[in-house]
């Protein structure tokens, strides 16, 4: 069986051993030094000023939207665009926090929102929460300019695209803020884990406060002192003073410890997946049964699952059956067209049609792209892709 997820960690055995030793000797297992170190190292590696570590990618999205509401940069009822082809917990925070989600279709050759698909709905958006789907992107520099021209806050859900690059820049660095997931099977695994990155000091403060109950104790001393002065609280009451709407989205030291270990393998993980992606792309290239991708604008594509979009539903049925018969675990391409999901229909009436996301929903599937795929496994996958 070629499973979607082959292991919990990169360098599984040594990571588990190191984790066991850490648990035995650590004084404290709730969020502390390991998490702070991971945040700083991740921010540096990603090339962002701030990184805020949280329990998973889904709450990274929820926290980001909550922090923007707390800051007043988003207001309840604002229209927020999102990629119709995405994961549910990209759009769920918009519904949960009282924003109006506006689905934006994807382009067939990149599976991502493009300037052309954004154009008809950009006017009237307050923000665009873009997903960089499966390590791919469309013309991100042009999308950024379009958002700037229309006064739209650009946010990136980069949970599927760590390490991919376009226009000389890592995905996740084109926006006001970006989110990451460290769930098992993603590029970096901390078992469960997520991150919000931003270069904006004010937003960073809001994120830190909203991550843990709304209190200020995780802020640097000078920012904590300012908030306390603004709230007019004495030192005693400051210990339990809650400045803004929040929840508890914290990770643990176990996640932080694993993150610090896995970060050492960033290049190896990203590059091995990129090399597999290149092989899969080559194998698909001669097969007219699939819609081809055009990712020539990207410097590096690294994904954790390889999407395949067939030209007809019949071909999709044929290839899904062949992959499964060969023992390959497959799934729909992310959550397909989100506007077709039951939760979306229950909460949103009259969603506009997203024909390309619909086609991917109907005719697509993906299989895992793990760094530890063996040569034999990649050969089997390439043969299947060749048709
Ligand atoms: C685009 C996207 N956003 C958010 C998430 C949620 O991340 P997590 O599984 O860490 O909650 C995922 C998960 O795969 C995802 O693909």
Assess whether the C-beta atom of 86 lies below 6 angstroms from ligand 1: yes
Ligand 1 atom closest to Cα of residue 61: 4
Say yes or no to pLDDT of 266 above 90: yes
Phi, psi at 156, each rounded to 5°: -120, 125
Provide mean pLDDT across the span 91-108: 98
Ligand 1 atom closest to Cα of residue 56: 10
Q: Residue 286: its pLDDT value, please?
A: 87
Q: Does residue 209 contact residue 199 with C-beta atoms inside 8 Å?
A: no
Copy the structure tokens of residue 91.
């759009």
Provide mean pLDDT across the span 217-242: 96
Distances (CA, A) of 301 to 27, 164, 290, 327, 385: 40, 5, 19, 26, 18
Q: How far apart are CA 164 and CA 169, in angstroms?
A: 8
pLDDT digits (tens, 9 = 90+) for 15-38: 999 999 999 999 999 999 999 999
Q: How far apart are CA 332 and CA 322, in angstroms?
A: 15
- In a 3-state reduction of DSSP, which class is residue 367? strand
Q: How far apart are CA 93 and CA 195, in angstroms?
A: 16
Per-residue pLDDT band at 2 (split at 50, 70, 90):
very high
Provide mean pLDDT across the span 319-340: 97
Q: How far apart are CA 191 and CA 193, in angstroms?
A: 7
Per-residue pLDDT band at 269 (split at 50, 70, 90):
very high
Between strands 127-131 and 330-331, the pairing is: unpaired
Q: How far apart are CA 257 and CA 22, in angstroms?
A: 8
Q: How far apart are CA 154 and CA 142, in angstroms?
A: 12
Provide mean pLDDT across the span 132-158: 98
Q: How far is the CA of 335 from the centre of ligand 1 (A)?
A: 10
Walk me through the domains of the chain, giving residue ranges and CATH numbers: 12-263 (3.40.640.10), 266-386 (3.90.1150.10)
Point out which residues pair with 52 in neighbouring strands. Answer: 196
Q: How far is the CA of 366 from the centre of ligand 1 (A)?
A: 16
What letter would DSSP give residue 288?
Answer: T
Q: Residue 28: its pLDDT value, please?
A: 95
pLDDT digits (tens, 9 = 90+) for 42-56: 999 999 999 999 999
Provide mean pLDDT across the span 167-174: 98
Q: Cα 213–219–225 angle (5° rounding)?
A: 105
- In a 3-state reduction of DSSP, which class is residue 189? coil
Q: How far apart are CA 142 and CA 125, in angstroms?
A: 17
Assess whether the C-beta atom of 87 lies below 6 angstroms from ligand 1: yes
Q: How far is the CA of 344 from the centre of ligand 1 (A)?
A: 17
Say yes or no to pLDDT of 176 above 90: yes
Averaged pLDDT score across all residues of the chain? 97
Q: Which residues contact 249 (CB under 8 A, 6 or more apart)?
A: 54, 55, 59, 60, 62, 63, 210, 211, 212
pLDDT digits (tens, 9 = 90+) for 337-370: 999 999 999 999 988 999 999 999 999 999 999 9
Which of 295, 290, 306, 298 lies closest to 359 in space, CA to CA?
290
Pocket test of ligand 1: the residue of 8, 53, 57, 191 to mutate, having most ligand atoms within 8 Å of its CB, is 57
Q: Which residues contact 318 (CB under 8 A, 6 or more apart)?
A: 310
CB atoms within 10 A of CB 169: 13
Assess whether the C-beta atom of 159 lies below 6 angstroms from ligand 1: yes
Q: What is the DSSP string of 302-326?
A: --SEEEEEBSSHHHHHHHHHHHHHT
Assess whether the C-beta atom of 303 lies below 6 angstroms from ligand 1: no
Q: Residue 374: its pLDDT value, please?
A: 95
303: left (phi over 0), alpha (psi -120 to 50) or beta: beta
Say yes or no to pLDDT of 88 above 90: yes
The fraction of the chain above a pLDDT of 70, given in percent, is: 100
Q: What's the pTM? A: 0.98
Q: Which residues contact 197 (CB under 8 A, 6 or more apart)?
A: 42, 43, 46, 48, 50, 51, 52, 172, 177, 178, 179, 180
Per-residue pLDDT band at 387 (split at 50, 70, 90):
confident
Q: Residue 285: its pLDDT value, please?
A: 93
Between strands 177-181 and 305-309, the pairing is: unpaired
């Amino acid at each position: 069986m070629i499973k979607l997820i082959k292991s919990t960690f990169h360098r599984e055995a040594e990571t588990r051993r190191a984790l066991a030793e850490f648990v035995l000797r650590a004084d404290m297992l709730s969020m502390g030094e390991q998490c702070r170190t991971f945040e700083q190292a991740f921010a540096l590696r990603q090339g962002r000023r701030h990184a805020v570590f949280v329990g998973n990618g889904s709450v990274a999205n929820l926290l980001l939207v909550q922090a923007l509401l707390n800051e007043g940069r988003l207001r309840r009822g604002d229209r927020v665009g999102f990629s119709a082809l995405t994961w549910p917990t990209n759009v769920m925070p918009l519904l949960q926090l009282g924003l109006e989600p506006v689905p934006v279709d994807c382009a067939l050759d990149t599976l991502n929102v493009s300037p052309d698909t954004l154009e008809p709905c950009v006017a009237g958006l307050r923000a665009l929460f873009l997903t960089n789907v499966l390590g791919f992107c469309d013309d991100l520099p042009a999308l950024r300019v379009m958002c700037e021209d229309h006064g739209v806050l650009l946010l990136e859900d980069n949970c599927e695209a760590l390490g991919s690059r376009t226009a000389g820049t890592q995905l996740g660095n084109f926006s006001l803020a970006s989110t990451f997931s460290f769930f098992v099977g993603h590029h970096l695994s901390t078992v469960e884990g997520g991150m919000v990155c931003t270069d904006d000091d004010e937003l960073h403060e809001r994120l830190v406060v909203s991550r843990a109950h709304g209190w200020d104790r995780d802020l640097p001393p000078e920012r904590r002192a300012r908030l306390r002065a603004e709230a007019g609280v004495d030192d005693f009451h400051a210990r339990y003073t809650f400045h803004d709407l929040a929840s508890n989205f914290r990770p643990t030291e176990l996640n932080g410890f694993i993150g610090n270990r896995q970060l050492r393998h960033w290049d190896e993980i990203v590059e091995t997946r990129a090399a597999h992606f290149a092989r899969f792309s080559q194998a698909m290239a001669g097969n007219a049964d699939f819609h081809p991708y055009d990712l020539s604008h990207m410097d590096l594509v690294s994904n954790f699952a390889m999407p395949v979009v067939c030209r007809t539903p019949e071909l999709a049925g044929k290839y899904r059956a062949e992959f499964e018969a060969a023992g390959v675990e497959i799934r729909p391409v992310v959550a397909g067209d989100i506007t077709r999901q039951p939760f979306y229909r229950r909460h949103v009436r009259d969603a506009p049609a997203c024909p390309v996301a619909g086609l991917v929903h109907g005719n697509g599937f993906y299989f895992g792209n793990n760094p530890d795929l063996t040569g034999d496994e990649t050969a089997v996958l390439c043969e299947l892709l060749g048709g």
